[in-house]
Chain A
Amino acid sequence: MIFTNLTLLGGALLASGLQSTDAGWFASWLENSRWTIDESVRVVVDGDGDVATLAFFGLDIHKVISTKNGDIATLVLQPTLARVDSLVPTPPIYDGPDDWEVVWRIFNANIKLRQDGALNLRVGHLELPFGLETVLDTNGTLRQYQLAPDFGFKADWGLSLNGETDDVEYELAWTRGSGNHYRDDGEPGLISGRIGTSRYSDRIFGLSVADGEVLTPMGVVERQRVGVDAMFYRRNLGLFTELSTGSNGPDVDIHRALVEANCRNPEETVLGWVQLVGSDFDGSGAGADTLDSRLGVRWDPAKGWTMGVQYTKNLQGEGQADGAGSVAFQLRYRF
């Protein structure tokens, strides 16, 4: 079955490229596709008044490859050019606080191995299946969960088996462990997976695990995590939580808890959220325990436009509990 679908996919890709010339090639690629340019600008002002800016200019492409007998695969391609200035602290994806970077947000093919959606093979740059992020789309948004803090990146190069049945959805991935760029220095590698109840329910539960090694600026570091997540919806309110425990290397144990309450208007053009994230570190070399709070609002004032603001304040740890916190503003336009 796997080889049949891979062969069909290859055939369809070749056919769409070779069957026609000039304009036909592009026209056939446009069939069953969506293309959007995704631009955003983010300004972060910290408690000392220092300003960091982030700008993203990306493509968002969605293409379903089909034959007369059914869909074969879905491509999601989101190459994005990022520019950051004065970004401190600097996420490892960037070479420094002022940098250009090509970010492969999501860049993969999800190939159907069963037509009913119970088994698919995803290949490429994929989001790690762990925790709330699996259910919620946070790419390019101010609202974030614990994927990046836990692993150093949200998406990684590799493959996964994924699918859904009547009440359960799952994804199990093996990825390189190097994040945005495929790098095998030190042979990192990460297995991650989540199994959860249907995302369309009012009560959603998930169990996630991850084990392996990830590439960090300090070299290859072991990561283990076990997490549970839950989402409860009542009327226009949402209550989410994600609890995880594990280790960063042999000497640091880490336990995290996230709680979020959110609210939206009937048209879902306005979303407000409050998050509390506590991190407890044990072991030699571990940092101080932290408690962070975030308060954010997202508003879609017109088609394609999104504005957002999020206030973040560290309530405990890192010596910033008395600071003024930081504010991030974002303007996003998809056209």
Chain B
Amino acid sequence: MKTLVALLTLLSLSHRVDAQAYCALRDPNRQIFELFPQADSFRSIVRTIGEATRQDVAERLPFTLHFNELGRHTVYVAQKEGQTLGLVHVRSEASRWGLVEVAWAFDLDLRVHGFLFQRCRDRSKPLFELSEVRSRVNGKNFAELEELLEPDGMALRAEALPLPERGLALGTALVRNGLKTIATTESAWADDIWQLRAESVARRANATIREVVALRRLYGPEVREALTSAIGPNGSGVVRAESRGWELLDERKAWVGRLLVTRWQHSPYDLELYWVSDEHGTLTAVEVQGAWPDPDLRLAIESNVGANLGAHFECAGSVELLVHEVLLTLERPAPESPAR
């Protein structure tokens, strides 16, 4: 029976074929350590880029992945002493003189940390070593990179990159490739990125945390009931369908708290917020994905660090309502054995 299951599973992978024989695959060792010089190791995460990812990319861009780009692919997590520094993802792009392979480095917000041409036969490649060009690409997120291209995605906008005429074709290929790589990573490696972000936030909040274990069910009946009763029908702006939670364990595998990620939509804000609580349910840290949109909001939210349900506070405004919802969601019995 197990053999049959194994065979069926194997066959179910049939659409994930890669055209290249696997003996030809090589890790981009040199590129990883050049993009993250402080790294001391890396680890591979292999996932399937399938039709769903292709659709996701097509919804965000005026172009999408070629069918030859589907299959099993690797994102590399650059690490130092076990802590994540960022991601490296190598993707290819058709160009006039053959495929260009670009090794992209991203931080966990998927902003460009750096890039290297792993393989490029275009004679204009040296132009992209110039700091004036690199500085226009590095640090950009998806939306900012997208602004470098014309709306149809077929060419760079005028003055987008300081390139002479002979470098524009490769520049266009580079930016298209970067956008495709970010969109692909966010789609096919979504769960992995959430996990890496959660581990990173948790360890910043509490250096003793060693394991960050995803909660399979965030909103049980009790939590739903408590939220309905306390928050009311209009909600707090938290998009509960997008919330995620984790149990936090220290090196002795003792439970030391929880981490909650909430998407908060409250005009004019639309933020991903990370909330860390300790084993007593007290908020110990809060972070935002990306940058805070304004310092007053940051102050208003961060001033709730130290709050818990035991020390009742007034739900006077939208931030207080948000924090109340977060505390209610985090509040639950300590796990006997965290779901793994």
- A residues contacting B by CB (< 8 A) are 22-23, 26, 30-38, 60-62, 64, 66-71, 74, 76, 78, 105-106, 115-118, 127, 137, 139-140, 164-166, 198, 200, 202, 233-236, 264-269, 300, 302-304, 306, 334-335
Instruction: Say whether B94 contacts A61, CB under 8 Å.
Output: no
Instruction: Say whether B19 contacts A306, CB under 8 Å.
Output: yes
Question: What are the 4 A-B residue pairs with the smallest beta carbon separation, nearest first?
Answer: A117-B29, A70-B41, A137-B24, A62-B22
**Smallest CB separation, B290 vs chain A (Å):** 26
| A180–B46 alpha-carbon span in the complex (Å) | 30
| A335–B74 alpha-carbon span in the complex (Å) | 19
Known: A32-B45, A165-B30. A78 touches B22 (CB 8 A): yes
Which of A62, A70, A166, A304 meets B30, CB within 8 Å? A166
Instruction: Say whether A105 contacts B18, CB under 8 Å.
Output: no
Nearest residue, chain B, Cβ from A235: B97
A62 to chain B: which residues have CB within 8 Å?
Answer: 22, 25
Instruction: Say whether A269 contacts B68, CB under 8 Å.
Output: yes
A70 to chain B: which residues have CB within 8 Å?
Answer: 41-43, 79
Instruction: Say whether A127 contacts B21, CB under 8 Å.
Output: no
Known: A26-B6, A166-B30, A267-B99. A68 touches B23 (CB 8 A): no
**Smallest CB separation, B210 vs chain A (Å):** 9
Interface of B is mostly: mixed
Instruction: Say whether A303 contacts B119, CB under 8 Å.
Output: no
Known: A34-B22, A303-B70, A304-B19. 14 other contacts (CB 8 A): A26-B6, A32-B46, A36-B17, A36-B22, A64-B44, A64-B74, A70-B41, A71-B42, A127-B23, A233-B121, A235-B123, A266-B97, A303-B17, A303-B19
Which of B5, B66, B71 meets A26, CB within 8 Å? B5
Known: A38-B21, A76-B23, A304-B19. A22 touches B98 (CB 8 A): no
Q: B84-115 toward A: CB 8 Å interface, digit per residue (1/0)? A: 00000000001111110000000000000000
Stretch of B8-16, B217-225, B277-285 that contacts chain A = B8-16
Instruction: Say whether B94 contacts A200, CB under 8 Å.
Output: no
Which of A71, A78, A164 meets B44, CB within 8 Å? A71
B68 to chain A: which residues have CB within 8 Å?
Answer: 267, 269, 300, 303
Instruction: Say whether B33 contacts A116, CB under 8 Å.
Output: yes
| A306–B19 alpha-carbon span in the complex (Å) | 8
Highest count of chain A CB atoms <10 Å: which of B43, B67, B70: B43
Nearest residue, chain B, Cβ from A333: B17
**Smallest CB separation, B222 vs chain A (Å):** 30
**Smallest CB separation, A201 vs chain B (Å):** 9
Q: Is B234 part of the binding interface, using a Cβ–Cβ cutoff of 8 Å?
A: no
A166 to chain B: which residues have CB within 8 Å?
Answer: 30, 34
**Smallest CB separation, B10 vs chain A (Å):** 6
Nearest residue, chain B, Cβ from A60: B22
Known: A71-B44, A115-B41, A266-B98. A335 touches B23 (CB 8 A): no
Instruction: Say whether B72 contacts A34, CB under 8 Å.
Output: yes
| A33–B19 alpha-carbon span in the complex (Å) | 15
| A139–B22 alpha-carbon span in the complex (Å) | 10
Which of A34, A140, A200, A268 meets B98, CB within 8 Å? A268
Q: Is B159 part of the binding interface, using a Cβ–Cβ cutoff of 8 Å?
A: no
Instruction: Say whether B46 contacts A34, CB under 8 Å.
Output: yes
B5 to chain A: which residues have CB within 8 Å?
Answer: 23, 26
Nearest residue, chain B, Cβ from A263: B98
| A202–B45 alpha-carbon span in the complex (Å) | 29
Nearest residue, chain A, Cβ from B66: A267
| A306–B20 alpha-carbon span in the complex (Å) | 10
**Smallest CB separation, A298 vs chain B (Å):** 11
Known: A117-B27, A165-B30. A236 touches B98 (CB 8 A): yes
Q: Is B270 part of the binding interface, using a Cβ–Cβ cutoff of 8 Å?
A: no
Nearest residue, chain A, Cβ from B103: A200
| A157–B262 alpha-carbon span in the complex (Å) | 54
Q: Is B40 part of the binding interface, using a Cβ–Cβ cutoff of 8 Å?
A: yes
Instruction: Say whether A66 contacts B118, CB under 8 Å.
Output: no
Instruction: Say whether B94 contacts A266, CB under 8 Å.
Output: yes
Instruction: Say whether A266 contacts B95, CB under 8 Å.
Output: yes
Which of B17, B41, B46, B66 meets A334, CB within 8 Å? B17
Q: Is B82 part of the binding interface, using a Cβ–Cβ cutoff of 8 Å?
A: yes
| A334–B6 alpha-carbon span in the complex (Å) | 19
Instruction: Say whether A234 contacts B18, CB under 8 Å.
Output: no
**Smallest CB separation, B8 vs chain A (Å):** 10
| A26–B97 alpha-carbon span in the complex (Å) | 42
Nearest residue, chain A, Cβ from B15: A335
| A31–B45 alpha-carbon span in the complex (Å) | 8
Known: A33-B46, A71-B42, A202-B121. A61 touches B22 (CB 8 A): yes
**Smallest CB separation, B94 vs chain A (Å):** 5
**Smallest CB separation, A30 vs chain B (Å):** 7
Instruction: Say whether A140 contacts B21, CB under 8 Å.
Output: yes
| A74–B76 alpha-carbon span in the complex (Å) | 14
B79 to chain A: which residues have CB within 8 Å?
Answer: 69-70
Instruction: Say whether A64 contacts B30, CB under 8 Å.
Output: no
| A140–B22 alpha-carbon span in the complex (Å) | 12
A-B contacts, 5 listed (Cβ < 8 Å): A34-B16, A36-B18, A71-B44, A268-B98, A335-B14
Instruction: Say whether B121 contacts A200, CB under 8 Å.
Output: no
| A106–B23 alpha-carbon span in the complex (Å) | 7
Nearest residue, chain A, Cβ from B9: A26
Instruction: Say whether B22 contacts A304, CB under 8 Å.
Output: no
Instruction: Say whether A71 contacts B22, CB under 8 Å.
Output: no
Nearest residue, chain A, Cβ from B44: A64
A117 to chain B: which residues have CB within 8 Å?
Answer: 27, 29-30, 33
Nearest residue, chain A, Cβ from B125: A202
Instruction: Say whether A266 contacts B21, CB under 8 Å.
Output: no
Which of B71, B82, B119 meets A200, CB within 8 Å? B119
**Smallest CB separation, B24 vs chain A (Å):** 4
| A68–B211 alpha-carbon span in the complex (Å) | 10
B71 to chain A: which residues have CB within 8 Å?
Answer: 34
| A306–B68 alpha-carbon span in the complex (Å) | 12
